[in-house]
């Protein structure tokens, strides 16, 4: 359903047809009814989200003043340019690009240390579509992530700290501020170790990341760890070990980890590929607290449904596809012979 709305319609419709035949062949009326109802609910949600994005896309405007609500870890200041991601007061996500004059550097005001409102002058533009056959469509990719427009910034007019807001927004601002500080602190580590820690645990890619970690990226290790959720498992295991040594009960350990995982999701960059590992861990901890027995496949399915509510176009991105495909493959081969596991 997601692919029919956000991606390749015919391929997705064909896969949906195969899936429907598989459900019918089970000859279980309750499963068929639940599958149809769930598909209709999610289909309506996907269409609603697609239409909302179309309505919220701004027309192109030249020489205008825009206020952007920006988090400190979403601003990347380079030697002669600034790349950022922010929100308009109306809630739309946009990207911004600023290029300094030749021979100059961006002003120090761009280096914000907390959530701020940037008043900028420039042009509001729409993403251009791909012009060649099979070319990467950057505009479609950004729209799948909920980013609807881009702002070509000509001048930074004012920077004001973000104040107030509801509890959710204050918590979000605190997480982003902490992530920005951690990125700065990790730069004090040895260069290669700093890049690896930033990429794996903070979801931050420096400009020289792929150049300096060529061997790691060629092997795909950091991407494998990212999509598999290895670092989330490692983090929860360390937290559980420490809390148990502090004489906390198992229920208290589960509650503390459950409440900590959403914060780590933001600290790690809130990547769609990370969402599966976070949701599976939270669902497993919740089931343990309620003394429910839940199979790994059920956790996988529930996490996928919740993730699609949050990121409707999750499976249109390679990170989401690999994350859920890898997790499903591990569940599928569990309990099979060693030869079968090696084949998969």
- Give mean pLDDT, residues 12-26: 90
Domain boundaries, the chain: 2-56, 61-161, 167-219, 225-343
Per-residue pLDDT averaged across 13-37, rounded?
A: 90
Listed range (66-70, 212-216, 249-253, 313-317) with the worst mean pLDDT: 212-216
Buried b (16+ CB within 10 A) or exposed e, 105-119: ebeeebebeebbbbe
Identify the CATH number of the domain defined by range 61-161. Answer: 2.40.50
Q: b/e map of 250-265 (b: 16 or more CB within 10 Å)?
A: eeebbebbbeebeebb
Q: What is the pTM of this model?
A: 0.83
338 or 69, greater pLDDT: 69
- Give tens-digit pLDDT for 138-163: 888 888 888 889 999 998 998 898 87
pLDDT of residue 220: 53
Geometric angle at alpha carbon 55, from 53 and 61, rounded to 5°: 100
User: Rounded to whole angstroms, how far apart are CA atoms 327 and 296?
Assistant: 10
CA angle 260, 194, 262 (to 5 degrees): 15
Mean of pLDDT over the chain: 84
Length of the chain: 344
Nearest to 150 by CA among 66, 266, 207: 66
CA–CA separation, 265 and 278 (whole Å): 7
Give the DSSP H or E segment for 322: helix 318-333
How far is residue 90 CA from its own chain's centroid? 22
């Amino acid at each position: 359903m997601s692919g029919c709305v956000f991606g390749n319609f015919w391929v997705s419709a064909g896969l949906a047809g195969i899936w429907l035949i598989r459900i019918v062949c089970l000859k279980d009326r309750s499963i068929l009814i639940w599958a149809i109802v769930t598909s209709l609910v999610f289909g309506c949600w996907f269409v609603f989200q697609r239409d909302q994005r179309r309505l919220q896309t701004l027309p192109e405007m030249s020489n205008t003043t825009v206020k952007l609500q920006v988090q400190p870890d979403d601003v990347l200041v380079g030697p002669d340019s600034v790349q950022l991601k922010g929100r308009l007061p109306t809630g739309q996500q946009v990207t911004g690009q600023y290029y300094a004059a030749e021979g100059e550097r961006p002003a120090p005001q761009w280096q914000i240390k907390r959530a701020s409102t940037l008043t900028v002058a420039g042009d509001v533009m729409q993403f251009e579509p791909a012009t060649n056959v099979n070319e990467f469509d950057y505009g479609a990719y950004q729209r799948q992530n909920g980013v609807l427009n881009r702002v070509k910034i000509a001048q930074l007019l004012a920077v004001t700290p973000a104040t107030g807001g509801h509890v959710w927004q204050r918590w979000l601002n605190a997480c982003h501020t902490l992530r920005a500080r951690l990125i700065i602190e990790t730069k004090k580590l040895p260069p290669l170790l700093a890049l690896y820690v930033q990429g794996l645990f903070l979801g931050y890619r420096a400009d020289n990341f792929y150049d300096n970690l060529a061997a790691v990226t060629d092997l795909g290790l950091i991407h494998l760890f990212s999509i598999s959720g290895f670092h989330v498992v490692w983090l929860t295991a360390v937290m559980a070990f420490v809390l148990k040594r502090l004489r906390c009960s198992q229920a208290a350990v589960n509650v503390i980890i459950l409440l900590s995982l959403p914060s780590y999701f933001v600290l790690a960059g809130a990547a769609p590929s990370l969402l599966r590992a976070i949701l599976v861990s939270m669902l497993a901890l919740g089931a343990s607290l309620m003394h429910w027995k839940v199979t790994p496949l059920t956790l996988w399915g529930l996490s996928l449904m919740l993730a699609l509510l949050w990121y409707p176009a999750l499976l249109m991105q390679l990170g989401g596809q690999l994350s859920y495909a890898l997790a499903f493959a591990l569940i599928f081969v569990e309990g099979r012979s060693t030869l079968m596991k090696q084949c998969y």
